Structure 1
Amino acid sequence: MFIVALLIIAKLWKEPKCPLTDEWIKKMWYIHTVEYYSAIKKNEILPFAMTGIELESIMLSEMKSSQIKINAI
């Protein structure tokens, strides 16, 4: 009788509905892509792009100053 009860419970038991990792990654990738293209469409500059531009200008100014020091010697 106990085994029959366990089989009935196992048959009726529903597994929890947790999103799979693959589905979650696809959803997040889609959201990121939509945000990126909407920003491009609006001609907005993304914050991380500005950081890259600032780093590039800093590196260029450091290179120029080192070139000036080398030429001065």
Structure 2
Amino acid sequence: MSLDKSSTPFSPAFLLLGTHPQETKPASQRGTCTPMFTAALFTIAKTWKQPKCLLIDEWIKKMCCVCTVEYYSTINKNDILPFAATWMKLEDIIPNEISQTEKDEYSTMSLICRT
């Protein structure tokens, strides 16, 4: 999968997070994955150099990007049901300011069915 800066407004580094198979991690590292993932997200967020208060549309798009990364992480772990429930809750709080095409693009069914 190749991404260029014109096709996505988000950092391509997101795609590198959480993509390693779970069975290859030693038992001592399993408890550190979530804090490391959170630290990586904060590091990436610092590189965005955005103003402290994002517009609603920008915030939603960045949250959708984070949730998309979480989706692919759960696919690797074969743990899709808890993710789908979390994503559906997120869809309920998306405000009306976002366009219908963006709602369709980031909807749960489009991710699960890969349409």
User: Which band: TM-score by shorter chain?
Assistant: 0.3 to 0.5
Q: Highest CA radius of gyration, 1 or 2?
A: 1
Scaled by the length of structure 2, the TM-score of the pair is 0.25
Scaled by the length of structure 1, the TM-score of the pair is 0.38
